[in-house]
Amino acid sequence: MADDLQLNVQLLRRLVPNLTVAARSVGLRSATVSDLCNGKIPLGRAEVRTLVALADLAGCTLDDLVIRGPGSTMVETGIKVIDLFAPLVRGGTVGLVARTGMGQMVVLSELLHRLRQRGYGTVLWLPAEFHPDLQDVLPEAEVVAHSLAAAEEQVKAWQKDREVLVATDRAMVLSGELDELRARLAGGAGHAVTFALVDPRGESPDEEVPYGPLETLWRFDADLAARSVFPAIDPVGSTSIILEGAYADQTHMTLQQRARRLYRRYRELHALARVRGIERIPDAEVLTYRRGERLEAFLKQPFYVTEPWVRQPGEWVAPADGIEAARRILDGPGEEPHPAR
């Protein structure tokens, strides 16, 4: 199967709104279906019976389900941990998975702020039952929509001239309204519409696939949040199809994989050091530990939306600069660069 073939995820979402539930009903593992949709399992490695079952669920042919695509491109956010480890996919959906208090609302506010500054139309679409944790997000959206019809109208008005980010509550996923909005927007001409899904109730970590199929997943880490390492996005558990298979820039993918291996081992060594003292780290692992410390410190980043409280100006780091800075940390020793503009 050619590398540029991909699953027609938009078609699946439109024809099978509750995809993971429907997949289980015909004997498919929901995790497998989710991994196929978000690119973690390349289409070339999918079993034919799985693709046939998905086509049957959607009531379409395999030719409709498997399409030749141009690949995916990233939306630059200027946030180091995101652009390096789990880039936002243009026209895709990102899910934020976190317990309450881990900073997910701050990240969502910052994302809306940054993309709005770069010319995106930004919509915060609220459910009927408003969660108070979303209160601080309201000022960062250009438009707040209180109904499906209002969100649809605004997106269609902007699509002709601007790319659009729609941020919404997980409640819209559970109610089926998000799938309905996608269906209404499907096939429309204009710029890409990217979705960001947040869970203000903090229930998503308990679910296998809390948002259904995603192109990008930002998983937050309790230990990082407890140590005030913000943004507390987990470099190991967060993923994006931008760095999977045929979509990947090889330089970026290789660097991300190296950084993830280092950070995973650093996390293990850090746990050991906290319990038994840093002197108990094996001599052969000290360099790994120090590089991991530097990488973690580098990934901390002040946000524009928190300037009034932290008294530190927000920072934008271009993805290429972040990748090069991370490479220098991995190759160490030496002072890590900290590029910003």
- Consecutive 10-residue averages of pLDDT for the chain (341 residues): 61 79 87 76 80 90 71 88 96 96 97 97 96 96 98 95 96 94 82 95 94 93 96 97 74 95 96 89 92 97 96 95 96 55 41
pLDDT at 4: 52
CATH number of 250-331: 1.10.1140.10
pLDDT at 246: 53
Asked if 89 and 216 count as a contact pair (C-beta separation under 8 A), the reply is yes
Distance CA 177, CA 182 (A): 9
- Mapping DSSP to helix (H, G, I), strand (E, B) and coil, where does residue 145 land? strand
Strand partners, 144: 124
The residue extents of the domains of the chain are 5-68, 93-214, 250-331
Q: Is 71 left (phi over 0), alpha (psi -120 to 50) or beta?
A: left
CATH architecture assigned to 5-68: Orthogonal Bundle (1.10)
Distance CA 86, CA 38 (A): 12
Q: Given this chain, do its domains 5-68 and 250-331 carry the same CATH topology?
A: no
Distance CA 170, CA 184 (A): 19
Q: What is the DSSP letter of 43?
A: G
pLDDT at 248: 66
Distance CA 271, CA 254 (A): 26
* Residue 16 neighbours by CB under 8 Å, 6+ apart: 22, 57, 58
- Mapping DSSP to helix (H, G, I), strand (E, B) and coil, where does residue 216 land? strand
pTM: 0.81
Backbone phi and psi for residue 17, each to the nearest 5 degrees, phi listed first: -55, -45
pLDDT at 18: 79
CATH superfamily, region 93-214: P-loop containing nucleotide triphosphate hydrolases (3.40.50.300)
